[in-house]
Amino acid sequence: MAFKGEGKIWMNGQFVDWKDANIHVCSHVVHYGSSIFEGIRAYNTSRGSAVFRLKAHIDRLFNSAKIYRMDIPYSVDDLIEASLETIRLNKLQECYIRPVVYRGYDSLGVDPRPCPVDVAIAVWEWGKYLGPEALENGVEVCVSSWSRIAPNTLPAMAKCGANYMNSQLIKMEAIARGCVEGIALDNVGNVSEGSGENLFIVRDGALITPPFDASILPGITRNTVMTLAGEFGYKVIEANIPREALYIADEVFFTGSAAEITPISMIDKIVIGSGKRGPVTEKLQTRFFEYLSGDVADTYKWLDFVYDKEKVQA
Ligand code: PMP
């Protein structure tokens, strides 16, 4: 989806017009990938627009910054409020929220420390990531010939711009092979994750998902699904998954803020389970969307309402 190029972007504490939210071509980030970021969504619930798990995302942003020794010149609360204010100013209901922290303009040595730590928050309208039918029918994916970044190369637990060079290779190869998305293995050959999603398999009624040491991003939707699985009494196991376990799983699905809970119907042309969204996936999806609808109690305080706080608290 191309940008409309309208509205305001929060940049270092100021709102600037979309067209003026520019950085210098000699900024450190342009040359060395020195950015960290988040991808967050606001949903139009029955009680008004609400951001899903905003604090968890901003906390992860600060964790990414810590790993890269970046001192963000704002607090968690500042960036939570700035995110909500940016949505309000742009008068959006359902949207994507992209906070990005990057090494800015000063000098171009590899050492980033002389360069300022700049922060921006952009928001825009956003539809379904893997296509509108994906949530129901599932998607066709393939195992990538590219491995996920190995430990001791780039830290997968940090959501760093540079990691997405690896994601781009995975995604472009998948598309070239006629698939919607690729699944990367880790450096020892176990399942890691998609280019922008975590992955679960369902086997004999239990959920299995790769652990942090399989070079995954600690996904917030992954954590959400683990919580929801607990509500249904499903066992959730964080364990290494050999590639072939994908093919013989009862169900496989992706999780992510963009992908939400997307069933996988085919991997490397092998039909997964029934070839349709499986019953466990459907149950988790339904519960997930119930929480996002605002119609059920916000048990875990996952929703931050954007407008009209009083109405929401009533
Ligand atoms: N892995 C990668 C590489 C991602 O980019 C994302 C999307 N942020 C995820 C997993 C899923 O994370 P989350 O559920 O927090 O969006």
The rounded Cα 81 to chain-centroid distance in angstroms is 20
Geometric angle at alpha carbon 33, from 29 and 37, rounded to 5°: 85
Question: Do residues 55 and 110 lie in contact, with contact meaning Cβ atoms separated by under 8 Å?
Answer: no
What residue numbers bound the domain in which 168 lies? 134-293
Measured in angstroms, how far is the CA atom of residue 31 from the centroid of ligand 1?
24
Geometric angle at alpha carbon 258, from 117 and 285, rounded to 5°: 140
Nearest partner of 202 among 240, 234, 246, 250, judged by Cα = 250
Indicate if 143 and 284 belong to the same structural domain: yes
**Residue 209 beta carbon below 6 angstroms from any ligand 1 atom:** no
Tell me, what DSSP letter sits at residue 151?
Answer: T
**Residue 221 beta carbon below 6 angstroms from any ligand 1 atom:** yes
Let me know if residue 312 belongs to a domain.
no
Strand partners, 237: 208
Measured in angstroms, how far is the CA atom of residue 96 from the centroid of ligand 1?
14
Give pLDDT, residue 1. Answer: 73
Let me know if residue 188 belongs to a domain.
yes
Give pLDDT, residue 58. Answer: 99
Indicate if 213 and 276 belong to the same structural domain: yes
**Residue 182 beta carbon below 6 angstroms from any ligand 1 atom:** no
Choose the final residue of a domain: 95, 124, 153: 124
Strand partners, 119: 101
Give pLDDT, residue 17. Answer: 98
Let me know if residue 114 belongs to a domain.
yes
The count of structural domains within the chain is 2
Q: Does residue 314 have a pLDDT over 50?
A: no
Let me know if residue 90 belongs to a domain.
yes
**Residue 197 beta carbon below 6 angstroms from any ligand 1 atom:** yes
Which CATH number covers residue 241?
A: 3.20.10.10
**Residue 217 beta carbon below 6 angstroms from any ligand 1 atom:** yes
Indicate if 112 and 149 belong to the same structural domain: no
Q: Which of the four pLDDT bands, split at 50, 70 and 90, describes residue 2? A: confident
The rounded Cα 273 to chain-centroid distance in angstroms is 26
Let me know if residue 110 belongs to a domain.
yes
Give yes or no: 309 in active site.
no
> Pairing state of beta strands 251-256 and 181-185?
unpaired
Indicate if 265 and 157 belong to the same structural domain: yes
Let me know if residue 72 belongs to a domain.
yes
Measured in angstroms, how far is the CA atom of residue 109 from the centroid of ligand 1?
30
Residue 214 half-sphere exposure toward CB, CA atoms < 13 A = 22
Give pLDDT, residue 310. Answer: 43
pLDDT digits 0-9 by tens, 172-218: 999 999 999 999 999 999 999 999 999 999 999 999 999 999 999 99
Choose the final residue of a domain: 124, 145, 177: 124
Which CATH number covers residue 50?
A: 3.30.470.10
Indicate if 105 and 191 belong to the same structural domain: no
Let me know if residue 304 belongs to a domain.
no
Indicate if 48 and 139 belong to the same structural domain: no
Let me know if residue 303 belongs to a domain.
no
Q: How far apart are the first and last CA of the chain?
A: 37
Which residue has its alpha carbon closest to ligand 1 atom 3?
196
Indicate if 52 and 140 belong to the same structural domain: no
Of 128, 159, 171, 311, which is the active-site residue? Answer: 159
Is residue 13 classed as helix, strand or coil in its secondary structure?
A: coil
pLDDT digits 0-9 by tens, 95-132: 999 999 999 999 999 999 999 999 999 999 986 666 66
pTM of the complete model: 0.96
